Amino acid sequence: MGQEKFDDIGIPLFYVERRYPTSRAIELHPDLIPFLKTRDPPRINKESREALLLYNYYVAQDLFNLTIEFERDVAIVPTPVMRYAFLQHLIHPNCSIIEIGTGASAIIALIAAKCFNAQVYATEMDPTYIEYAKRNVNANKLENKIHVINSHGKFLDGVIPENLKVDFILSNPPYYDKILSPKVLWGGKKHELVGEGSQGENFIISMIEEGWKYLKTPGCIAFIIPKTRVATMNVIEEFLNEQDMEYDIIGILAGNRTRYVFRIYKKYFDSYFSEFDSNKIS
C-alpha cells in the first residue's frame, strides 16, 4: 500500500490496495448479480444490507481465506478490506494483541491471526456477539490463536489477565455521542456505536488509560475513526497532548471515505500512567 498524498490538514493518506473488483466477484459468485445497483460497470447496491452481507462474506473468503458468519439483523456489517488496511499499517507478524470490542464477526481478530499469525485476546460485551465470535474463531480453526473474552462492559481491568502484556492494543471503537439516524444501514446496537462522553470519546480514552499497563515497551495503542468525527478527535487529541503522549495519525482512503488511524506509542522511556505517576490523570 503506497502513500499517495496528504489530505487538507496534512495527514498522510494511503489508498486501500487489496481491492476486489466487483466484476471478478460476480464472475465467481453469480448470486451477487441480483444485488447490483448498476450492471455496467458492475456496482454492488450498498444500500442493501443483504447485498453488503453477501459481498463481504465473499471478500473475506476470497481475499483472506476466512469463513465468517455475520450477524444478519443488527450488528455492523464489517468491510474486511478496511480492517486489513488498519492492521497492515500497524502490526507485525507473530505479535500479540488485545482487541477491545471484536464484534459478532471477530473480523479484526481473525485477519490478525490468519494473515499476521498474531496471538489475539479479543474482548466483547454483547453475549450474542460473543457466541458468534466464538463460532467464527472455531470455524476457521483459530482457537489456538484467538481467545474471545467477555468483558461484561468493562475495559481491561478485571477482564485481561493481570500480568499480560501485549505488543498492540487496538479497537475499531464506538465513537458517536448519540445515534443520529434511525436508518443506520450498516447496523449497530447502541453499545456498538455510542462511545459515551460529550463527543463519544470515553471508550477510546478508557482504552488508552487502562490499556497502558497491559502494553509492552515498545508497544502501540491504536484505533480507527472516520475523518468526519472531528469533534471526537479534537477531544482525544486534547487528552493525548495534555498527557504529553507520543502519537501519529495516518489516513486510509477507500473510495471517497477517509478513516484516520491513531497510533499512540509507548517507547523505552515510559512514564505515562505508571504506578509512579498515578496522579497524572485526575
Residue span binding ligand SAM (CB under 6 A) among the ranges 118-126, 136-144, 259-267, 269-277: 118-126
The answer to whether residue 100 forms part of the interface with ligand SAM (CB under 6 A) is yes
**Where in 17-46 is the site for ligand SAM (CB under 6 A)?**
none
Asked if residues 222 and 90 have their Cβ atoms less than 8 Å apart, the reply is yes
Task: Report how far residue 99's alpha carbon sits from residue 129's, in angstroms, rounded to the nearest whole number.
Answer: 14
Q: What is the DSSP letter of 224?
A: E
Query: Which residue, chain included where needed, has cell 444485488?
Result: 35
Window contacting ligand SAM (CB under 6 A); options: 96-104, 234-242, 261-269, 273-281: 96-104
Of the candidates 54, 53, 36, the residue with the CA atom closest to the CA atom of residue 45 = 36
Grid cell for residue 200: 463519544
Q: How far is the CB of 34 from ligand SAM (least distance, A)?
A: 25
Nearest approach in angstroms of CB 179 to ligand SAM is: 12
103 part of the interface to ligand SAM, by CB under 6 A:
yes
- Residue sitting closest to ligand SAM (CB): 101
Cell of 274: 505508571
Residue of 32, 51, 107, 170 interacting with ligand SAM (CB under 6 A): 107
Quick note: the x/- pattern for ligand SAM over 187-216, rule CB under 6 A, is ----xx------------------------
Cell 477491545: give the residue: 100
Buried (b) or exposed (e) across 115-135, using 16+ Cβ within 10 A?
Answer: bbebbbbbbbbbeebbebbbe
Positions that interact with ligand SAM (CB under 6 A): 76, 78, 83, 100-103, 105, 107-108, 123-126, 129, 151, 153, 155, 172, 174, 191-192
